[in-house]
Every structure is written in structure tokens, then in C-alpha cells.
Amino acid sequence: MSELLLEVGGLHAGYGPVEVLHGIDLTVATGEVVVVLGANGAGKTTMMRAVSGTIARRGSVRLAGDDIGRTSPDAIVRAGLAQVPQGRGTFVDLSVDDNLRAGAYTRKDDYVGADIARWFEVFPRLAQRRTQKAGSLSGGEQQMLAVARALMSRPTLLLCDEPSLGLAPLIVQELFGILGRLNSEEGLSVLLVEQNANLAMDIADRAYLLETGTIVASGDAETIRNDDAIRKAYLGY
């Protein structure tokens, strides 16, 4: 019986006068990989931003029992939440190495260098390019960099917003494989948002379906996969 790491209740958020999320409830238990499926415009990115506090919202968001409503960005990261934004969001002018160091910005311990070495082992392509500017990396490499950067803060919960966007399926497989291993071997909890989530469902424990700002379905991965309507609309077969 795992604790709930992330509890989102009655989340409303939007941009200006337009409300995009109309009361979302979801949870992520410790050690789970949870996938949120949804088409374009369903509100997936808005949800991620609302959860991580990047945009204003109503409703409750609790991380390990603590309300992270009004916390500053550094406190949220220190509380164990790291985000891989849509479109990578790497620091394109900084080297790969500096990007990783930036990921460890809130850490005060001495193991930052060791962690960097470790992620270079997990993502060998990044090691090859460690002194290059992040902007010169390919899309797939930048995505890995964004993930590694987020992992540098040693989070307990990783939020990933459409990491497969624009990437070749092989790379996506590699990436999800790594996430899956981190989840099973180290208990990293992941909240993953995807449009075409075929590969994501391979590592998922549970899934939610988001449509125009509301959760319309939820359940464990198997059930969702076997649902015909969902399969056709979101999993492509």
C-alpha cells in the first residue's frame, strides 16, 4: 500500500479569462508511473504547469502530504518535484555539462559531480557532447539532456510533458526504457503526459484520459489499453 506522493484535487487553471482545466483530480502513488493521455488542446500542458506551480490555479496540489500551493520554484524543486517541459527547454547557450549543473542548482551536497558522471553513463550520447552547447544537439539528445537535467535534482517525482514529441520511435523507446528502469530499480515516480502514448503505456502503471479539461476515464494500464475506444483514439490501433 504505497503512500500518495502527488494528490491533485479540484484543479482549475487557465489563461486570463479562459479556463482550461475544469476541476481535475488525480494521484500518483510512490513508485508509480502514471500516464495522462489527451489530444491536442485537452489541457495536458496546462495541467503540468498548474501542478508545478508555473501558472496560477485553484484547487489543491499536495506533494508528499504538503501543500505546494504558494511555494517558490526552488522550494518545489527541493521538495522533490522536477519537470521536463514540453519542447525540452534546455539552456541552449550553455554546455551539456552546465545544463546538468544547472539541474543541480538547489543541491548543496558534494555529490553533484558523481551524479553527472552517472547520468553520462546512462546517456552515453550526452557524455560524448559534454562540452558542446546544448543548442547544437539533436532533438533526441536535447530531450535526454532535459530529462537528465531534471534528474540531477534527485527528485522523487518527475513530470514529463510530451517527451516523445518530434522524436524517432527508437529514441523514444530508449528514453522510456530508461525511465522505466529508474522507476523499477530506484522507485522514481513519474507523471507522464503524452498524445500518442503507445510506448508510454508500456511502462505505465495507471493512466488517466484528459479531454477538454476534464478527466473522462482512469484506471490501471491494462484496462485502459484494452478499452477499444481509447485504443483507437489514442494508441493508434
Residues contributing to the site for another protein (CB under 8 A):
52, 54, 72-74, 76-78, 82-83, 85, 89-94, 98, 101-103, 105-106, 149-150, 152-153
Tally of CB atoms within 10 A around 43: 26
Nearer to another protein, 71 or 195 (CB): 71
- Choice between 27 and 106, CB closer to another protein: 106
* Closer to another protein by Cβ: residue 86 or 173: 86
First to last CA, the chain: 34
Q: What is the CA radius of gyration of the chain?
A: 17
User: Secondary structure of 87-125 in the HEC alphabet?
Assistant: CCCCCCCCEHHHHHHHHCCCCCCCCHHHHHHHHHHHCHH
Strand stretches in 16-69, DSSP E: 18-29, 33-38, 57-63, 66-67
For residues 48 and 215, which CB has a smaller minimum distance to another protein in the complex? 48
C-alpha distances out from residue 114 to 9, 82, 110, 184, Å: 38, 19, 8, 22
CB of residue 118 to another protein, shortest distance in Å: 18
Cα 19 vs. chain centroid, distance in angstroms?
Answer: 23
CB of 151 to another protein, least distance (A): 11
Q: Please, which residue, 119 or 234, has the CB nearer to another protein?
A: 119
Shortest gap between Cβ of 58 and another protein (angstroms)?
20
CB of 155 to another protein, least distance (A): 11
Give the shortest CB-204-to-another protein separation in angstroms.
23
- Residue 4, classified by CB atoms within 10 Å of its CB into exposed (0-12), middle (13-18) or buried (19+), is middle
